[in-house]
Amino acid sequence: MDFSFVFAIDWGFIFDQSLKQAVDINAIVYALAAIGLNVHFGYAGLLNFGQVGFVAMGAYGMGLGITYWQTNPALAVLIGIIFAVVFALILGVPTLRLRADYLAIVTIAAAEIVRLMARSTAMRSITRGAEGLNEFIGPFRELNPFTPSAEYGFGPFVWSGNRFFTVVVGWTLIGLFLLLVWQLMRSPWGRVVKAIREDEEAARALGKSAYWYKLQALILGGVIGGFAGMVMALGNATVQPDFFVAPLTFFFWLVLILGGVGRVWSPVVGSIIFWALITFIQNLGRQMVDDGLIPTSIMDTTQVDQIRFWVVGAALALLMVFRPQGIFGSREEMALDAN
């Protein structure tokens, strides 16, 4: 068999792209959203299938802060946080007294409601409908200490000044939230939250208000998700309703499960691996089609984008078979659930 095709492929380019995407803005957004989801599901046992709704709330809160209420960037970020908190209250107050599945149903619907409302013509005067918010980036760019025209970074990790600013802010946020989650989960607060995940009634019988702690966890994870939205908005310099489609939530879940549920680091590692893998497959596929290694009768370049999700799906299925606890998870803990 002829293996010369191996040399026709620009491996250097593919690896560079994969490494860069592993730490670029998309990976940051997914990591932040998954950190929030980890607080929800990994620690508090809350089934949130609408994390993208929190992401949208953060992005729109910040964007509207500048364009609609014309505040300064700090206040705009605060509005983004408030949006996420309000969303958490709307979802949590009526459902957290009920069984866990009710939250799941409500979240998946509420996230879609947020997106559809944002793009509706009725809200057009505020959210600008499907066009989205495009004029909020100015005040943030003024804060940028890096020269926009210059390039920053080393090796494959090179960004323009504006983008580099977002990357730095994003990774700083990841660091801060990891620290926050780590500290909380080793504190008595974290013990109560984990106890509620294990058995809500036992926690209540020992004097802990399950409802109140679940609400706190929902808000915390939601606000972290909101920050994911803010980073996304800064990176794209725009907030558009159709960024926030339901499948995004399931990618956040994928990232979380990949890393291992209920471990501090796992969302970040999951996100890095996810984006490296996706980029690798995409670039390899494209080159193979371009070089004629895969005939266009089988697949063309646009189809590569869909195939990459097949491969990720298959990889996840294999992970579930051979390492169901994820990369960082504990097999011992998984086994306890079987009892």
Partner 1 sequence: MPTDLSHLDRIPGVAKPDPILVVDNMRKRFGGIVAVDVDHLEIQRGVITALIGPNGAGKTTFFNVLTGFDKPDEGSTVFDGNIIDKVRPDVLAKRGMVRTFQLTKALTKLAVIENMKLGAKHQRGENFLRALISPIWRDQEHSIEERGDALLARFKMDHMRDEYAGSLSGGQRKLLEMSRSLMTDPTLVMLDEPMAGVNPALKQSLLDHVRELKDEGISVVFVEHDMDVVQGISDWVVVMAEGAIIAEGPPESIAENKEVIDAYLGAHHDTPLDLDAGLETDSGEEEE
Contact set with partner 1 (CB under 8 A): 180, 183-184, 187-192, 194-195, 197-199, 201-210, 216, 220, 332-333, 336-337, 339
Cross-strand pairs, 113: none
Which alpha helices (DSSP H) does the chain contain, by range?
5-8, 11-23, 25-37, 51-67, 73-95, 100-118, 124-127, 137-142, 161-185, 188-198, 200-205, 210-236, 247-259, 266-290, 301-322, 331-337
Minimal distance, residue 183 CB to partner 1, in Å: 6
Minimal distance, residue 262 CB to partner 1, in Å: 8
Comparison of 45 and 73: residue with beta carbon closer to partner 1: 45
Minimal distance, residue 100 CB to partner 1, in Å: 16
Looking at residue 293, the DSSP 8-state letter turns out to be S
Comparison of 84 and 220: residue with beta carbon closer to partner 1: 220
Comparison of 198 and 300: residue with beta carbon closer to partner 1: 198
Minimal distance, residue 180 CB to partner 1, in Å: 7
Comparison of 315 and 334: residue with beta carbon closer to partner 1: 334
Minimal distance, residue 41 CB to partner 1, in Å: 13
- Which one, of 270, 239, 233, lies nearest residue 30 by Cα? 270
Comparison of 4 and 339: residue with beta carbon closer to partner 1: 339
Comparison of 108 and 256: residue with beta carbon closer to partner 1: 256
Minimal distance, residue 107 CB to partner 1, in Å: 22
Comparison of 220 and 269: residue with beta carbon closer to partner 1: 220
- Which one, of 13, 210, 194, 258, lies nearest residue 97 by Cα? 210
CA pair distance 122, 136, nearest whole angstrom: 21
Assigned token pair, 47: 């089934």
The number of beta carbons lying within 10 Å of the beta carbon of residue 190 is 19
How many degrees, rounded to 5, is the angle at CA 245 between CA 218 and CA 160?
95
Minimal distance, residue 42 CB to partner 1, in Å: 11
Tokens 């705009």, residue? 76
Pairing of strands 157-160, 151-154: antiparallel
